[in-house]
C-alpha cells in the first residue's frame, strides 16, 4: 500500500464509524471446491476473524457481521445444526483472543430457539467483554431486520411510552443497536445485490458496496478496496454536498 493509499485509510477511519457485512457465499465456495457446505462456513469463520482484526487495527469503532438470519432456519436440518455447532465452537475458541484484543462482543437477534449451550457461551462472552473499550463487534445471530423492528415496537409498548409522542430517535433506542451509530458502509460478498432483511431501519442512508467474490475468498485487500471506494463518495443524506 503506497503513501497515497495510506492517507486515504487515515481519512476514511476519521469519519467512518460503523461497517456492516453480509458474509455471503460460504456454501457455494465449498461446493466449487468439492467440499461439504459446512467446510465453507468453517472457512468463512476464519476469514471473519481476519477482517475483525483488520477493522480493529484501522480504528473503526463498530463492525456488524450477519452470521445467521431468521430465514436460515429454512435450510436443511443437518446444515442448520452444523452451523449452530460451528458458532458455538467459534465463540469458545476465539473468545480469549477477542478479550485479549479489547473487543466488546454483542449479539443481535432473538435468543429464543437457539441451543441452550450456544446461548450460554454467547452470554458469557458478552459479559466477559462488556468493559472492553476497543472495537464493538456485533454478531447478528438468529437475526432479521423486520423481526428487530417488531421487537422494538413491543419493547416500546412494554415501556409504557406515549405512542403519540414517539420520535425516530426514541424508537431507535429500542433497536438491538440502539446505542450505536448507523452503519456508514454495508459490504455484501457473493454476487447478490440485495439487503436480505439486514438492519432495515439502520441502513436508510448507508453506502452499499457489492462484490462477486465469495466470502471465504474475501480478504484485507478487498476490504481496503471497499474503503477506498467509500472515501470517494459524497454523502448528502437528502441535502446538498
Partners of 141 in the β-ladder: 68
For residue 241, being part of any structural domain is answered with no
**pLDDT score of 105:** 98
Query: In this structure, is residue 170 part of a structural domain?
Result: yes
Q: Which of 8, 24, 26, 142 is catalytic?
A: 24
Q: Measured between alpha carbons, how far is 190 from 210 in angstroms, rounded to an integer? A: 8
CATH number, domain containing residue 225: 3.40.1180.10
List all residues 6 or more positions away from 71 whose beta carbon is below 8 Å from its beta carbon.
144, 196, 197
- Residue 227 resides in a domain: yes
Q: Is residue 210 part of a domain?
A: yes
Q: Evaluate whether residue 213 is within a structural domain.
A: yes
Q: Per residue in 101-153, pLDDT tens?
A: 999 999 999 999 999 999 999 999 999 999 999 999 999 999 999 999 999 99
Instruction: Tell me, yes or no, whether 237 lies in a domain.
Output: no
CB-count burial class (<10 Å; 0-12, 13-18, 19+) for 237: exposed
Total domains in the chain come to 1
CB 57 within 8 A of CB 8: no
Q: Is 24 known to be catalytic?
A: yes
Residue 236 within a domain: no
Backbone angles phi, psi at 209, to 5 degrees: -135, 120
CB 19 within 8 Å of CB 189: no
Give pLDDT tens digits for 41-80.
999 999 999 999 999 999 999 999 999 999 999 999 999 9
**Is residue 239 one of the residues assigned to a domain?**
no
Residue-wise DSSP of 136-153: EEEEEEEE-HHHHHHHHH
The CA distance from 4 to 85, in Å, is: 44
Of the residues 72, 101, 197, 219, only one is catalytic, namely 72
Provide the residue range defining the domain that includes 177.
Answer: 3-231
Residue 2 banded pLDDT, cuts 50, 70, 90: very low
72 a catalytic residue: yes
Amino acid at each position: 500500500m503506497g503513501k497515497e493509499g495510506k492517507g486515504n485509510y487515515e481519512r476514511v477511519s476519521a469519519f467512518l464509524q460503523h461497517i456492516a457485512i453480509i458474509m455471503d457465499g460460504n456454501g457455494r465456495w465449498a461446493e466449487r471446491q468439492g467440499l461439504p457446505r459446512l467446510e465453507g462456513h468453517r472457512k468463512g469463520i476464519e476469514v471473519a476473524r481476519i477482517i475483525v482484526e483488520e477493522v480493529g487495527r484501522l480504528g473503526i469503532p463498530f463492525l456488524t457481521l450477519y452470521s445467521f438470519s431468521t430465514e436460515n432456519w429454512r435450510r436443511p436440518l443437518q446444515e442448520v445444526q452444523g452451523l449452530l455447532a460451528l458458532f458455538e465452537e467459534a465463540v469458545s475458541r476465539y473468545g480469549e483472543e477477542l478479550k485479549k484484543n479489547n473487543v466488546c462482543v454483542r449479539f443481535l437477534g432473538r435468543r429464543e430457539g437457539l441451543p441452550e449451550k450456544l446461548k450460554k457461551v454467547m452470554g458469557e462472552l458478552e459479559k466477559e467483554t462488556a468493559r472492553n473499550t476497543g472495537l464493538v463487534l456485533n454478531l447478528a445471530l438468529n437475526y432479521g431486520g423486520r423481526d428487530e423492528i417488531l421487537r422494538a415496537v413491543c419493547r416500546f409498548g412494554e415501556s409504557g411510552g406515549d405512542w403519540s409522542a414517539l420520535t425516530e430517535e426514541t424508537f431507535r433506542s429500542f433497536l438491538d443497536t440502539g446505542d450505536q451509530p448507523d452503519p456508514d458502509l454495508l459490504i455484501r460478498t457473493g454476487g447478490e445485490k440485495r439487503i436480505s432483511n439486514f438492519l432495515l431501519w439502520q441502513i436508510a442512508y448507508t453506502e452499499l458496496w457489492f462484490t462477486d467474490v465469495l466470502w471465504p475468498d474475501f480478504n484485507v485487500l478487498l476490504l481496503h478496496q471497499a474503503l477506498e471506494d467509500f472515501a470517494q463518495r459524497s454523502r448528502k443524506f437528502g441535502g446538498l454536498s
